[in-house]
Amino acid sequence: MLPLFLFLVWFIVVLVPVLEKKAKGKSGGVSILPGFPIFPLVAWGLAALLDLIHARLGYYIIGGFHVILLACAIAYSAKYLYDIKRKA
């Protein structure tokens, strides 16, 4: 389940710059690399290495970090969506 969660979080994180550009009225594209798929793979590998030290250590540390990352991404997404709707 951890790899699926990691990929989901990074998919959401790479969408935040798109909302930021739209909120600021800028045009142009946003690259999703290396945010997706490289960073989730690195995080998954780091979690596997931490699991070698102690069972479930990688799950708790990397998973916890990604919960915080997801909360920040949701907060920024909400802010940018509010800015977009306010300008419309």
In a domain, 63, yes or no: yes
What pLDDT, on the 0 to 100 scale, is given for residue 29? 84
In a domain, 49, yes or no: yes
Question: How many domains does the chain divide into?
Answer: 1
In a domain, 29, yes or no: no
Average pLDDT over residues 5-22: 94
In a domain, 79, yes or no: yes
Contacts of 33 (CB under 8 A, 6+ apart): none
In a domain, 71, yes or no: yes
What pLDDT, on the 0 to 100 scale, is given for residue 36? 83
Residue 87 has pLDDT above 80, yes or no: yes
In a domain, 59, yes or no: yes
pTM of the entire predicted model: 0.90
pLDDT digits (tens, 9 = 90+) for 19-78: 999 999 998 888 888 888 899 999 999 999 999 999 999 999 999 999 999 999 999 999
Full domain range(s) for residue 15: 2-23+35-87
Residue 88 has pLDDT above 90, yes or no: no
In a domain, 28, yes or no: no
User: Which token pair is 59?
Assistant: 């799950």
| Residue whose structure tokens are 């509010």 | 82
In a domain, 74, yes or no: yes
